[in-house]
Amino acid sequence: MKIGFDHKKYLEEQSKFILERVNDYDKLYLEFGGKLLFDLHAKRVLPGFDENAKIKLLHKLKEKVEVVICVYAGDIERNKIRGDFGITYDMDVLRLIDDLRSYELDVNSVVITRYDNQPATTVFMNKLERRGIKVYTHRATKGYPTDVDIIVSDEGYGKNPYIETTKPIVVVTAPGPGSGKLATCLSQLYHEYKRGKVAGYSKFETFPVWNVPLKHPLNIAYESATVDLKDVNMIDSFHLEAYNDVVVNYNRDIETFPVLKRIIEKITGEESVYKSPTDMGVNRVGFGITDDEVVKEASKQEIIRRYFKTGCEYKRGYADLETFNRAKLIMEELNLKAEDRKVVIPAREKGLKLKEELCKNEKCPAVALELQDGTILTGKGSSTMHAVAAVILNAIKYLANITDEIHLISPVILEPIINLKSKTFGSKITALACEEILIALSISAATNPMAQAAMEKLCMLKGCQLHSTTMLNTNDEQTLRKLGIDVTCDPEYPSNSLFYNN
């Protein structure tokens, strides 16, 4: 994979800039937008970016940092799913706490925002408190977002409990957007100033990248990633007016800046040092780009992946037609086609061939996998295993120089697993999923040196590209994600079954 980003340079630049911002205050509330860990979008569009760069940055500053996690009560109540992990937001809060602790970062508390005694949220709060996690609740802020006099008063932010913090940098993060991070930061600012402390607010948002052009594929890829939020990149007019400098921000930050500026000025009693929403940011990711052409191409590929993802979400009922059409328009803006993703045509050709040979009127799931050396392998589904399982076996056999005729997994191992699924568990789908096949392979590896040799090649699949002619089930998607494979699917179900396609 070609590298277009210098991770080490970025970390040095970023930590230096945050510390410079902290020096202006007794305490800095730093709102972290995007993903604190496993930022796979950034990794894909900035080849060379470490998906855990942000958490490693905070680990570097751990003596000065503590973390507050926000989660919106409504997201807990409706079981909102974090798409990249397939887990609900409340479970992601638990995962986030564990991951932060593993990096020796202090988790101060969890804030439940816009809390209104929702039953599922109350259960979650009990779960946290009984595990020793401090929990605060914030009700909807009276007068928000327009009545600044009420917002910045005892009837507004004053109604929220004050979160006791001890370190100079308080990172405020969340499982996803709309979790109340900004309101929590501003509420804390209000309470700090009432206590006579000089506190500040800044925002760490990786995308859009303010110092690359508005129509750069890197910034357009951000729009593609947030089609459901309807985010639109724009020139920061406030920055242009104040400094005569063209920088990029996005509609929500630009639209809310005048109110946000007034709130901060009302809290502090003096003119804000920030002349634009870009001023508020501390992001230095643009300075880590070392090869613009590599980043452009990676960003275009991400836009295509997002188009496929939105198409599948529309098919499943998670996205509306407007969102899907917006993803399509973004593709057209850059003259991109689905077939510009190299694995799409081989997968579809394999599917058509199978249909002619085997399936006739049935749907015939097929997949194509591109290895790091550019080799493309295909796989088909069978009564024994899913198509993705077949292509993974094909790939590791290829990497280990094992011929197709040699079976890595003995029928002696496969048959009992299939019988367990069909006869003991009563499953109607007996074909083994990718994870089940890999477990069977690991058992074979104990006695079969070739299976062991193939197993050792699994790590070489990280960063490979896969396309399926039908939508994968959640388990297969998760397994491929654990292997580090970037997956897309045509928005087609593998069969006409309603329940068994999930």
List C-alpha distances in Å: 323 to 98, 214, 312. 34, 21, 12
For the chain, the distance separating the N- and C-terminal CA atoms, rounded to the nearest angstrom, is 33
Question: Using one digit for the tens of pLDDT, what is the confidence trace for 283-311?
Answer: 999 999 999 999 999 999 999 999 999 99
Q: What are phi and psi of 210, to 5 degrees?
A: -65, -25
Q: What is the pLDDT of residue 27?
A: 93
Tell me the H-state helices in 195-276.
Answer: 217-225, 237-243, 251-268
* Closest residue by Cα to residue 399 from 471, 456, 346: 456
pLDDT, average across residues 158-162: 96
Q: What is the pLDDT of residues 372-429, one digit of tens each?
A: 999 999 999 888 899 999 999 999 999 999 998 888 998 888 988 988 988 898 888 8
pLDDT value of residue 496: 74
C-alpha 272/C-alpha 305 separation (Å) is 41
What are the strands, taking DSSP E only, across 361-440?
366-370, 376-380
Residue 501 is predicted with a pLDDT of 61
Q: Give the pLDDT band of residue 502 (cuts 50, 70, 90).
A: low
Q: Cα angle vertex 121, ends 118, 122, to 5°? A: 85
Of 283, 320, 384, 301, nearest to 45 (Cα)? 301
pLDDT, average across residues 149-159: 94
Give the pLDDT band (50/70/90) at residue 81.
confident
Give the Cα separation of 152 and 190 in Å (integer): 7
Place of tokens 């958490």: 55
Segment 232-250 mean pLDDT: 96
Rounded Cα–Cα distance for residues 430 and 235 (Å): 54
> Is the pLDDT confidence value at 100 over 90?
yes
- Provide CB contacts within 8 A for 14, sequence distance 6+: 57, 282, 283, 284, 285
Number of other residues whose CB lies within 10 A of the CB of residue 76? 25
User: Looking at residue 361, what is its pLDDT?
Assistant: 55
Q: How is the chain split into domains, by residue range?
A: 7-210, 341-501
**CA distances, 145 to each of 148, 152, 188, 201, 202 (Å):** 7, 11, 16, 17, 19
User: Looking at 77-91, 100-114, 249-263, 392-406, which range is the least confident one?
Assistant: 77-91
Give dist(CA 253, CA 231) in Å, integer.
Answer: 10
Q: Of 117, 122, 34, give the one whose Cα is nearest residue 82.
A: 34
pLDDT band at 364 (very low <50, low <70, confident <90, very high): confident
Segment 450-476 mean pLDDT: 95
Q: Which pairing describes strands 27-32 and 199-204: parallel, antiparallel, or unpaired?
A: parallel
User: For the purposes of burial, counting CB atoms within 10 Å of the CB of 67, is it exposed (0-12), middle (13-18) or buried (19 or more)?
Assistant: buried
The CATH class for the domain spanning 7-210 reads: alpha beta
pLDDT of residue 499: 63
pLDDT given for residue 500 in this prediction: 60
Mean pLDDT over 86-107 rounds to 93
Which of these, 139, 143, 157, 128, lies nearest to 74 by C-alpha position? 139
The tokens for 400 are 């280990």
pLDDT of residue 378: 96
Q: Do residues 272 and 202 touch, judged by C-beta distance below 8 A?
A: no
For 48-58, the pLDDT digits (tens) are: 999 999 999 99
423, exposed or middle or buried, with CB in 10 Å at 0-12, 13-18, 19+?
Answer: exposed
Residue 77 makes CB contacts below 8 A (sequence gap 6+) with: 118, 119, 120, 121
Instruction: Record the tokens describing residue 288, joined without a space.
Output: 């880590």
pLDDT at 356: 80
CA distance 105 to 64: 10
Mean pLDDT taken over the chain: 93
In the predicted model, is pLDDT for residue 247 greater than 60?
Answer: yes
CA–CA separation, 245 and 402 (whole Å): 59
The whole-number average pLDDT for the span 55-76 is 94
Q: Which CATH architecture has domain 341-501?
A: 3-Layer(aba) Sandwich (3.40)
Question: Is the confidence at residue 143, as pLDDT, over 90?
Answer: no
- Is the pLDDT assigned to residue 99 strictly greater than 90? yes
Residue 362, pLDDT score:
62
Whole-angstrom distance, CA of residue 21 vs CA of residue 271: 17
Mean pLDDT calculated for residue range 425-453: 91
